[in-house]
Amino acid sequence: MDNKMIPLSVPNFKGKELEIVGKAIEEEWVSTGGEYIKEFEKNIANYLKVKEAVACQSGTAAIHLALKLSGVGLGDEVIVPTLTFIAAVNPVKYQGAEPVFMDCDDTLNMDLDKLKEFCEKECFLTEKGLINKKTNKFIKALVIVHVFGNIANMEKVMKIAKKYKLKVIEDATEALGSYYTKRKYDKKFAGTIGDFGAYSFNGNKIITTGGGGMLVAKDIDLAQKAKYLSAQAKDDALYYIHDEIGYNYRMTNLQAALGVAQLAQLEKFIKIKTKNYNLYKKQIEKIKGLGLLDFNKNTRSNYWFYSLLINKEKYGLSRNELLKKLSKKNIQTRPIWGLIHEQKPYLNNQSYKIEKANYYIERVLNIPCSTNLDQQDIMTVIDSLKDVKS
């Protein structure tokens, strides 16, 4: 047995990372001031074809700022998915608001038919906004997550949001580089269609700054306000005058320097991700009871994560059984996150017809997808999927 560890998703630092970060250290600009922050923001904005981008401490910070600037406050509600990482939902609580949980569809993204049904049947629309019949609270916004880099149907999202007066916050933390290839939003990137878009550069993302995130906004004035709030709301930096409550949400110059080097390789990384996904898919389709979830048509996905769908009856092993067997072979895998409406802080929050999320959480396992993988690594995973069931 090959004892080489095959990790789930790790960074790829084969570009100019050391050189550029070294320059930042030499210049002694290592904190939340420095030219690399401005350069990274500019480069991301140019890549996404938006006017401005705001570098943040994390994707979570970006979502929090987006909710605040969407007018979400104490006593309001926000519609969120239950199948996502909890960082997409916790910022709702930061604002004193409450989440309302939606089911997923077969793409793992939010079920938009149920979203529409909920707005039509469980709410009523007033001049001031949408009110939840059950709680009598205003629903101010919708957080739509592009799960694993697979873009949600934003045409449908925006149509629903416009009708029901909802602000749209795109959690594109897993979808940097994914864009539409047809129809209304042709060539539009995930995160650039709603009122706000949030990105993450955590260590396992397609490009990384170690931590860190980015916020974009349809309204450039709100992007500027986000930048102001992210730097402790300084109205006079010399005399430390603050007219509003701000946050310590700015990215550091060291992180931004790493980001500049990583962004230069993004398209290369996406090509590698796409090639590896297609190799996996071709081989996995030959194994009875297994399949890889598809990415949506009419999109160019970044293919961030590869989701293995397990039919226990045909394959012979459950998700957890397979995870443990692969772990013994030094192959790291990961189940989908625990559904958020079942997490202790959210047990009392409203959820709407959660069905498919329960189905997929028991049957999906994410398999190694780093851009460092070579063909031999992939074939080792494939052979292991065949071996462990025998």
Going residue by residue through the chain, which has 390 residues, state the pLDDT in tens, using 9 for 90 and above.
457 899 999 999 999 999 999 999 999 989 888 899 999 999 999 999 999 999 999 999 999 999 999 999 999 999 999 999 999 999 999 999 999 999 999 999 999 999 999 999 999 999 999 999 999 999 999 999 999 999 999 999 999 999 999 999 999 999 999 999 998 999 999 999 999 999 999 999 999 999 999 999 999 999 999 999 999 999 998 899 999 999 999 999 999 999 999 999 999 999 999 999 999 999 999 999 999 999 999 999 999 999 999 999 999 999 999 999 999 999 999 999 999 999 999 999 999 999 999 999 999 999 999 999 999 999 999 999 999 876
* CATH number, domain 17-263, options 3.40.640.10, 2.130.10.10, 3.40.50.300, 2.40.50.100: 3.40.640.10
Burial 80-111 (b: 16+ CB within 10 A, else e): bbbbbbebbbbbbbebebbbbbbbbbebbbbb
Amino acid (one-letter) located at 192: T
Alpha carbon distances (Å) from 99 to 75, 82, 88, 91, 139: 11, 10, 10, 10, 9
- CATH 3.90.1150.10 maps onto the chain at 266-387
Residue 183 is predicted with a pLDDT of 87
pLDDT at residue 390, as a whole number: 66
pLDDT given for residue 1 in this prediction: 44
- Joined together, the tokens standing for residue 32 give 């939340």
Contact between 130 and 138 under an 8 Å Cβ cutoff? The reply is: yes
What CATH architecture applies to the domain 266-387?
A: Alpha-Beta Complex (3.90)
CA 115 – CA 118 distance, rounded (Å): 5
